[in-house]
Amino acid sequence: MFQVLVFLDSHCEVNEQWLEPLLERISRNQTNVAIPIIDIIDHDTFKYESSPLVRGGFNWGLHFRWDQIPIEMLKEKEDYVKPIK
């Protein structure tokens, strides 16, 4: 048994069974930090869009940013579901 701390921004809305895949990754290695894909819901129309393939991170000034995932990291089908460093 292990404990996990989950952070969500106030504008995030989760669906059923969103946490289980993240916990499964953490259970394999408790030093992992698992981050879900954050899809887009338009605030005016509520239209759903899938997220572009990006990874989030912080710079040394603690400003959050999205970075494109380099295409060379996505060569095999399993690359789309395995952890990204």
- Given a cut of 80, whether residue 81 has pLDDT beyond it is no
Tens of pLDDT, residue by residue over 48-77, are 898 888 888 888 999 988 888 888 998 998
Say if CB 37 and CB 51 are below 8 A apart: yes
**pTM to 2 decimals?**
0.63
Q: In this model, does residue 47 exceed pLDDT 90?
A: yes
Q: Please give the structure tokens belonging to residue 16.
A: 């059923």
> Quick one: pLDDT band at residue 44, thresholds 50, 70, 90?
very high
Strand partners, 73: none
Q: How far is CA 13 from the centre of its chain?
A: 13
Beta-bridged to residue 29, according to DSSP, are: none
For 2-43, write each residue's pLDDT tens digit: 899 998 888 788 889 999 989 998 998 888 888 887 888 888
- 59: CB partners within 8 A, 6+ apart: 65
